[in-house]
Amino acid sequence: MKRLVLIVDDNQEMLFTLKDGLEKYAEAFTVMISGDGVDAVQKMRQHAVSMVVTDLKMPRMDGISLLSTITKDFPGTPVIVMTGYITNDVQQRARQSGAADYIEKPFLVDDLATKIFAVIRNEADGGKLQNVTPSIFLQLVSAEEKTCTIRLACCATGLSGVLFFRAGELVQARYAGRSGEAAAFEIFAWDAVDLAIQNQCDVHTNVINKDVQAVFLEALRRKDETEAAAPIAPTPESAPATPTVPVGDAGVLKIRQQIEAGVGPRSGLEDIYQDNAWADQLRQMARLGDALGAGPLRLAYINRAESVDFILLPGDPIHVVSIHPKSPRDRLVEALLR
C-alpha cells in the first residue's frame, strides 16, 4: 500500500528540500508538506495521511501539541519527531505523547527515509494480505479475538482506511476525514482490499459500540441500496420483467410435500408463493454467512412481529413460506432442509 507522509516544519527551505529528496521513494510513499501544526491538522482532516514527520519548535501549534492532537483525533497515525536538540527530557516527552521515533537535525534525507521505512515495516508486523474481501479478514480478527490495527487500501480506487480492533471487537475506524461507524460503513463496502496488520491497537475507548458483524451487514445493506438506486439505461435488448409464476408450480408443490411429510397437518402453514422482492435481504444474509464462514445460505427465518412469520428459500425464483408464529419452527426448518 502506498503511504501518504505529511512533513511539518515552519522552515520552508527544509520542507522543499525533504520533499524533493524523498521523491525517489515515490513508489512506496508520497510526501505532503505543511508549515505548522494547525495547517497539518487541517490537511489530516482532508486527506488520508498515513504518517507524520514533524518538527518540535513551530508557531501556533508546536510539535508536542500536534502529537497530542494526532493521538486524540487520529489514533494509529505514527509520528516521527525532528528536533535539533535531543535531550532525555525531549525524548521522554515525545515518547509519552505518542511519537514512534525521532531524528536529530541535521540529518541526511536517506536517514529519514530509513526511519520512515522502519515505521512502515512495524505497521505490518502481523502480516500482509493482497486482493482479499473484507469478510476474510473479519473472520480472522473475530475468530482469533485479535487486538490489532488493520490498514487497508481499496484495490479498485486506491482509497485507504484504518480499522482498530481490541479482543476481536471493532472499536474505531478512520477513512477520509471520517471516523467511527461512518468510516467503517465505507471501508466494509469495498469489494477487495490490500491490507497490513499491526499487532497493537492505540485506541482504548470503544467509539463503535456495535457488533462488528452488525456493522458489516449494515455496510452491505447501504451498498446494495446505493447500487439499486443507480439509474440503469434501458437497452433495446432489455427483456420485460419476469411475471410471477402461478402458485401451483412444481417448486411450491415440492415444498408443500416436504412440510406435510416432515411435520404433518398441524404445521401452521399459511401459504407458499414466489417473491423475488426478498432478493436484497437474502443477498445481505448470504454475505454475512460468508463473513462468518457458515457456508452457503440454504434458508432464512424472518420474524417481523407480524401476524405471520416467513421462511425464505433462496433460488431463482425465491420461494416464501408464510407460517403462523406459533408453528413448530424447528421441525419446519428441518423438513425444508432435507
User: What secondary structure letter does DSSP report for 5?
Assistant: E
What pLDDT does residue 248 have? 46
| Residue 14 burial (CB count, 10 A) | 16
What pLDDT does residue 245 have? 37
| Residue 235 burial (CB count, 10 A) | 7
Average pLDDT value for residue range 155-166: 87
Contact 50, 4 (CB under 8 A): yes
Contact 15, 61 (CB under 8 A): no
Please check the confidence at residue 217 and state whether its pLDDT lies above 90: no
Task: Kindly provide the b/e burial profile for residues 30-50, where b requires at least 16 CB atoms within 10 angstroms of the residue's own CB.
Answer: ebbbbbbbbbbbebbeeebbb
Nearest to 173 by CA among 99, 78, 76, 97: 76
Phi-psi region of 30 (alpha: psi -120 to 50; beta: other; left: phi over 0): beta
What pLDDT does residue 244 have? 38
Comparison of pLDDT for 225 and 155, the residue scoring more: 155
- Per-residue pLDDT band at 291 (split at 50, 70, 90): low
- Per-residue pLDDT band at 93 (split at 50, 70, 90): low
Q: What are the sequence ranges of the domains in the chain? A: 3-122, 128-228, 250-336
Nearest to 177 by CA among 4, 1, 327, 34: 4
Question: Strand pairing of 148-154 and 128-132?
Answer: unpaired
What pLDDT does residue 154 have? 87
Question: Strand pairing of 169-175 and 309-313?
Answer: unpaired
> How many C-alpha atoms does 17 have within 13 Å on its Cβ side?
12
**Range in 90-104, 184-198, 268-282 with the lowest mean pLDDT:** 90-104
What's the CATH architecture for 250-336? 2-Layer Sandwich (3.30)
Report the predicted TM-score, pTM, of the whole model to 2 decimal places: 0.61
Contact 175, 187 (CB under 8 A): yes
**Does CATH place domain 3-122 in 3.40.50.2300?**
yes
What values do phi and psi take at 157, rounded to 5? -115, -20
Query: Which tens digits make up the pLDDT trace of 171-193?
Result: 999 887 788 999 999 998 888 88
Task: Return all residues near 155 (Cβ < 8 A) that are at least 6 apart.
Answer: 131, 190, 191, 192, 193, 194
- Per-residue pLDDT band at 86 (split at 50, 70, 90): low
Please check the confidence at residue 71 and state whether its pLDDT lies above 90: no
Please check the confidence at residue 230 and state whether its pLDDT lies above 70: no
Query: Which tens digits make up the pLDDT trace of 115-144?
Result: 999 988 888 888 888 888 877 777 777 778
